[in-house]
Chain A
Amino acid sequence: GENVEQHPSTLSVQEGDSAVIKCTYSDSASNYFPWYKQELGKRPQLIIDIRSNVGEKKDQRIAVTLNKTAKHFSLHITETQPEDSAVYFCAAPRSDSTLTFGKGTMLLVSP
Chain B
Amino acid sequence: DTEVTQTPKHLVMGMTNKKSLKCEQHMGHRAMYWYKQKAKKPPELMFVYSYEKLSINESVPSRFSPECPNSSLLNLHLHALQPEDSALYLCASSHAQGQGNSPLHFGNGTRLTVT
Shortest CB distance B40–A (Å): 7
- Tell me which of B41, B101, B107 contacts A97 (CB under 8 A): B101
Nearest to B111 among chain A residues (CB) is A41
Chain B residue total in the interface (Cβ 8 A): 23
**B56 beta carbon closer than 8 Å to chain A:** yes
Q: Tell whether A89 is near chain B: CB-to-CB under 8 Å.
A: yes
- Contact A97:B98 (CB < 8 A) given known A34-B103, A45-B106, A104-B41: yes
How many residues in A have their beta carbons less than 8 Å from beta carbons of B? 23
Q: Which of B45-100 contact A (CB under 8 A)?
A: 45, 48, 55-56, 90, 97-100
Tell me, rounded to whole Å, the shortest Cβ–Cβ distance linking B107 to chain A: 6
Q: Footprint of B on A, CB under 8 Å?
A: 31-32, 34, 36, 42-46, 49, 51, 87, 89, 93, 96-99, 101-104, 106
B-side interface residues toward A, CB under 8 Å? 2, 33, 40-43, 45, 48, 55-56, 90, 97-101, 103-109
17 additional contacts (CB under 8 A) given A44-B106, A46-B104, A96-B98: A32-B100, A43-B108, A45-B106, A46-B103, A51-B101, A93-B101, A96-B56, A97-B97, A97-B98, A97-B101, A98-B33, A98-B48, A99-B45, A99-B104, A101-B42, A103-B42, A104-B41
